[in-house]
Amino acid sequence: MDPYLALRFREFNIFLVARFAMVFAWSMQFIVIEWQVYSMTKDPLSLGVIGLMEVIPAVSMALFAGHIVDQKEKRNLLLKCLFGFSTISFGLFALSEPFLALKMDNTTILYGIYFLVFLGGIVRAFLGPTIFSLIALIVPKRAYPNAATWSSTTWQMASVLGPTLAGFSISWVGVHWSMCVIFAFSLAALICILKISRKPIMNPKIGEPIGDSLKEGLRFVFNSKAVFGALTLDMIAVLFGGAIALLPIFAQDILQVGAEGFGVLRAAPAVGAAITMIGSTRFPVHRAAGRKLLWAVFGFGLSIIVFGLSTSFWLSVFALFMSGALDGISMVIRQTILQLKTPDEMRGRVASVNSMFVGSSNELGAFESGVTAKLMGTVAAVVFGGTMTLLTVGFTAFISPSFRKLDLRDEVEAHESARS
């Protein structure tokens, strides 16, 4: 398959630029907010509240957002999401004005930040399903696997570079002007989406009662072995393989490598994921997709176990690099399965369920890691998580032979032949 197939469509290139700017700004903003809030409070609990303020609306509104996305025109809906994000970014820029700190007390400013983060969680609930649905309207179906790979790669690169620039930006220009940079990137994403044309609404059931709509979406996810299997595997891997949450303990107490070593450990999974995502544009993963996904998640679990048992810094770095590389493969395969298997009229609802599986499992995974580390010890907690991932893969392969044999080649090649 042509590794640049999706890039041959002008609107998809514009979409990728917008996606990079949006994810870059969002991930940078989160780091800058954390820095500002902790500088104001010196209370670790305040950092937990930031995540809570975003996750609660994002997860609780996910299904409703999916219903709305399937009922509305996607390009304009994305514009509204980006306008909302830009407004929030400008609000944070205003709240970080040094002059304001002299006029308002810290508690008022802190509550203002939490309120804007909460609004950002509402935007996030709509953003994921809208993006997922819009991709399918920008490129033809034959390009879905390649488009999913490029979209995931762009997301990964932006989510790595955003936090990196945030640290330098805070040091160079301070929190206030770092927020201005974030606002500029959000506006850039908004302008890019304006250059994409409006798309048709594929859902024939406009005005369908929300209860019926949500039931139909959930029924499709749970009845589709390919979709449900892919979502479940990813959720379990993130939930039980969440060693990232315990990295500060490994860096300080086990490997004793300090802040610089912590930075290397934190970056290793992201570097591995970015490399494999780029590689997957040349080596498509749609052949034997089910088997590849199972092996990728299995390898991820092994990598987490090796990391947990390692007392060597560079072996730990390598294990985390491999966990990211294998997670990158599973992410591309999951997105490909979702793009090919989801009907056009149901993309918003399926993407919302996906965001609930993945979004909630990140936070729950960090919580699970903390609890098990408290009960078992740090090393035992990581090994337990990796072992649970391996058992889940084995159980899935055993009870679902159809998922194990899943191959997307026929679907992709059918659309390739339809083009000629």
Confidence of residue 207 (pLDDT cuts 50, 70, 90): confident
Output the pLDDT for position 419. Answer: 46
Q: How far apart are CA 1 and CA 233, in angstroms?
A: 27
Give the Cβ contact number of residue 327 at 10 Å.
26
pTM of the model: 0.75
Query: What number is the average pLDDT over the span 12-36?
Result: 90
Output the pLDDT for position 185. Answer: 97
* Residue of higher predicted confidence among 373 and 187: 187
Give the Cβ contact number of residue 247 at 10 Å.
21
Output the pLDDT for position 259. Answer: 59
388, 240 Cβ separation under 8 angstroms? yes
Q: How far apart are CA 190 and CA 83, in angstroms?
A: 7
Q: What is the pLDDT of residues 161-180, one digit of tens each?
A: 787 787 778 878 888 999 99
Query: Helix, strand or coil for residue 2?
Result: coil
Provide the percentage of residues in the chain whose pLDDT is more than 90: 26
Phi, psi dihedrals of residue 122, rounded to the nearest 5°? -65, -45
User: Which of 104-113, 266-275, 335-344 holds the top average pLDDT?
Assistant: 104-113
| Rg (alpha carbons) of the chain, rounded to whole number | 21
Task: Judge whether residue 269 has pLDDT over 50.
Answer: yes
Confidence of residue 195 (pLDDT cuts 50, 70, 90): very high
Confidence of residue 299 (pLDDT cuts 50, 70, 90): very high
Confidence of residue 73 (pLDDT cuts 50, 70, 90): very high
Q: What is the pLDDT of residues 311-326, one digit of tens each?
A: 899 999 999 999 888 8
Output the pLDDT for position 362. Answer: 63
Output the pLDDT for position 91. Answer: 95
Task: Judge whether residue 42 has pLDDT over 60.
Answer: yes
Q: Of the candidates 88, 96, 91, 65, which has an alpha carbon nearest to the alpha carbon of residue 78?
A: 65
Task: Judge whether residue 48 has pLDDT over 90.
Answer: no
Q: In the chain, what is the straight-line distance between the N-terminal and C-terminal CA atoms, in Å?
A: 14
Q: Extract the tokens encoding 188.
A: 């850039």
Range with lowest mean pLDDT among 64-73, 110-119, 164-173, 409-418 = 409-418
Confidence of residue 415 (pLDDT cuts 50, 70, 90): low
For the residues of 80-117, what is the DSSP string, one character each? HHHHHHHHHHHHHHHHT-HHHHHHS-HHHHHHHHHHHH
Distance of CA 98 to the CA centre of its chain: 33
Output the pLDDT for position 225. Answer: 78
Query: What number is the average pLDDT over the span 355-372?
Result: 66
Q: Extract the tokens encoding 340.
A: 């090919």
Q: Of the candidates 92, 3, 108, 403, which has an alpha carbon nearest to the alpha carbon of residue 231?
A: 403
Query: What number is the average pLDDT over the span 266-294?
Result: 78
Query: What number is the average pLDDT over the span 240-258?
Result: 74
